[in-house]
Amino acid sequence: MQESRLFKIVYYLLDKGRATAPELAEKFEVSVRTIYRDIDALSGAGIPVYAEAGRNGGISLMDHFVLDKAILSGEEKQEVLALLQSLHTMRDTDGDRTLQKLSALFQADAESWLEVDFSGWGSQEYHNRKFNRLKSAVIHCKNVKILYAGSCREVRERVIQPLRLLYKSRAWYVKAYCTEKQDYRLFRLSRILELEVLDESFSRRAVPEQTDTSARIYREIVLRFPPEAAYRVCDEFDAAQIQRQENGDFIVTAQMPEDGWLTGFLLSFGMQVDIIEPAGLRAVVAEQARRIYEKNRV
């Protein structure tokens, strides 16, 4: 507990420049005497922290102090810089400035041993603007009005309280509280057709770990795929959901939402999927395939 507080005191001083002992005591909910003991401990560990008496005095770090191994090891510094490099692929100029500042603070160059690119293959200018506006709304607790294309074939306007941005299964989502549904929802960024950050603010709240996209009903689906569909099976399903058969086929057992999305998803496999369970799903997919054929036949 003390080590965590010492770490936080150093970063607080790096951020503020100077603070009084009572200010630090209130910030970290300890006594002033404990703060002075912490300062002695930091000084003993080699951190150049000192206290000045008087009206304009306080506790501060020596000028040009650079974090060293007493706080972060060289490997840990590189991990921090690598994470910022990864986020910079969103074309976030603020992230670029942060990367430059931390590189200078750590007195270390970011080694390019890792490359992560969240963007698609096409132009991402609109997507990046949308991402950064939502990021700002999350940080500043601002309501956002969106025009959203839902999975139930409807395009509707909603007002949400964005709480967290999430990258999952090759797509960005925003975890939010929907003012219309009075519940938490998960909105896919690519389906947000328009958005407007409103002047209205909301109080920050805890984000539930499980946030559904809607009141979707999930059930167990069992599918069979031939060996030549291996690349799609590995892309779309978790290894724990896949069983390889002696003849090379794949049996996939997964909990999936039984709605219009599932029908379209299964149709995307063409002739390479055999629906084993539930039996009624075969008829639904077959009927949809028939309608597609009737609509597009020459």
What pLDDT digit, counting tens, does each position of 159-181 carry? Answer: 999 998 888 777 889 999 999 98
pLDDT in tens, 79-94: 666 666 655 555 554 5
Banded pLDDT at 125 (limits 50, 70, 90): confident
The per-residue b/e assignment along 196-234, b for 16 or more CB within 10 angstroms, e otherwise, is: eeeeeebeeeeeeeebeeeeeeeeebebebeeebeebbe
Integer Cα distance of 24 and 32 in angstroms: 8
User: How does the average pLDDT of the chain come out, rounded?
Assistant: 81
Asked whether residue 72 carries a pLDDT value surpassing 70, the answer given is no
Q: Indicate the pairing of strand 142-149 with strand 58-61.
A: unpaired
Integer Cα distance of 161 and 157 in angstroms: 14
Percent of the chain clearing pLDDT 70 (strictly above): 74
The full 3-state SS of 119-139, as one line of letters, equals CCCCCCHHHHHHHHHHHHHHH
pLDDT in tens, 197-238: 999 999 988 777 765 555 567 889 999 999 999 999 998 998
pLDDT at 196: 94
Integer Cα distance of 226 and 249 in angstroms: 5
Prediction pTM value: 0.56
Mean pLDDT throughout 241-259? 92
Element (H, E) at 184: strand 183-188
User: Between 217 and 48, where is the model more confident?
Assistant: 48
The single-letter DSSP state of residue 270 is G
